[in-house]
C-alpha cells in the first residue's frame, strides 16, 4: 500500500468531512517523509500516539506490523471502530500526558513508537510525556516524532511562545485550550528529546516545513 491508497482508506472511513476538507492536505506536508523513513522496517510491534484519521496506521498494517494506536479522543471521533476492526488495529483511549496506559491495562512494550505533530499541542510539560512514552518502549526500541519548524512559522500564535520549559507542569491550573502550545526550533527540539533519549537524530526533508527526529534511550 502506498501513501495515496492509505489516504483513500482514511477518507472512506472518516466520520466527518473535515478530513477531506482540511486534514488530508496537511498530511501531505509530513506523512510521505515519515513513510520513507520507516518504510524498510521489518514487521514489529508499533504504537502510534495521536493517530489522527488512521492513515499511518492502515499503511503500517499493510506492511505486516502489529499496530496499536492511542488517542486522547474516544474511538469514532477520528478513527472509527469499523476501520480498526477491518484492518486489525487496536485502539486505546488514553491521555498520554496523564499516564502511560489506562489504569489496570498491560499493553506490553513496543519496538517502534510514532508520535507525529503532537508535541506542539501538549498542554503540560512535554518532557513529562516523553517520560511516559519511554516506559512503553522495548530495549533498543525507536521513537519517531515530528514538529513544525519554528523558522517557517514565526507568525503562528502560541500559548507559551517558543520555550517548552514555560509550558505548565502537569495539573498546575486549568488546561490551556489554545491549539498550539509551543513552537520548536531544531535546537529546542533536540534539547527536549535529550531530556529522555541519549541518541537523537533530527533532520528536515527537502522542501518541507517539518522537523523529524529518531531517538533511542
* Inter-residue contact 156 to 91 (CB < 8 Å): no
Q: How far apart are CA 162 and CA 150, in angstroms?
A: 8
What does the alpha-carbon distance between residue 112 and residue 45 come to, in Å, rounded to a whole number? 7
Q: Supply 137's cell numbers.
A: 518502549
pLDDT at 171 over 90: no
Angle subtended by helix axes 55-62 and 31-38, to nearest 10: 30
As a residue count, the chain comes to: 217
Question: Which pLDDT value is given to residue 12?
Answer: 98
Q: Which three cell numbers stand for residue 98?
A: 496523564
CA distance 81 to 6: 17
Structure confidence by residue, pLDDT tens digits, 94-137: 999 999 999 999 999 999 999 999 999 999 999 999 999 999 99
Q: How confident is residue 173, by pLDDT bands cut at 50, 70 and 90? A: confident
pLDDT tens, 41-89? 999 999 999 999 999 999 999 999 999 999 999 999 999 999 999 999 9
* 49-62 pLDDT per residue, tens: 999 999 999 999 99
Asked if residue 150 has pLDDT above 90, the reply is yes
Domain spans in the chain, listed from the N-terminal domain onward:
3-216
pLDDT tens figures, 4-34:
999 999 999 999 999 999 999 999 999 999 9
- CATH value of 3-216 in 3.40.50.150, 3.40.50.300, 3.20.20.140, 3.30.420.40: 3.40.50.150
Amino acid at each position: 500500500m502506498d501513501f495515496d491508497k492509505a489516504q483513500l482508506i482514511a477518507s472512506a472511513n472518516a466520520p466527518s468531512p473535515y478530513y477531506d476538507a482540511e486534514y488530508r492536505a496537511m498530511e501531505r506536508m509530513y506523512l510521505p517523509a515519515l513513510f520513507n523513513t520507516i518504510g524498510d522496517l521489518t514487521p514489529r510491534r508499533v504504537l502510534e500516539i495521536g493517530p489522527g484519521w488512521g492513515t499511518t496506521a492502515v499503511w503500517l498494517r499493510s506492511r505486516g506490523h502489529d499496530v496499536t494506536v492511542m488517542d486522547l479522543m474516544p474511538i469514532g471521533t477520528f478513527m472509527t471502530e469499523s476501520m480498526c476492526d477491518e484492518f486489525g488495529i487496536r485502539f486505546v483511549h488514553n491521555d498520554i500526558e496523564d499516564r502511560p496506559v489506562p489504569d489496570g491495562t498491560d499493553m506490553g512494550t513496543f519496538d517502534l513508537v510514532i508520535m507525529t505533530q503532537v508535541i506542539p499541542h501538549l498542554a503540560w510539560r512535554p518532557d513529562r510525556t516523553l517520560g511516559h512514552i519511554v516506559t512503553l518502549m522495548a530495549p533498543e526500541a525507536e521513537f519517531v516524532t515530528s514538529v513544525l519548524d519554528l523558522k517557517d512559522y514565526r507568525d503562528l500564535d502560541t500559548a507559551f511562545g517558543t520555550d517548552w520549559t514555560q509550558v505548565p507542569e502537569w495539573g498546575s491550573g486549568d488546561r490551556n485550550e489554545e491549539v498550539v502550545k509551543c513552537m520548536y526550533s531544531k535546537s529546542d527540539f533536540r534539547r527536549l528529546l535529550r531530556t529522555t533519549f541519549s541518541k537523537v537524530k533530527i533532520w528536515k526533508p527537502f522542501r518541507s516545513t517539518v522537523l523529524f527526529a529518531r531517538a533511542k534511550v
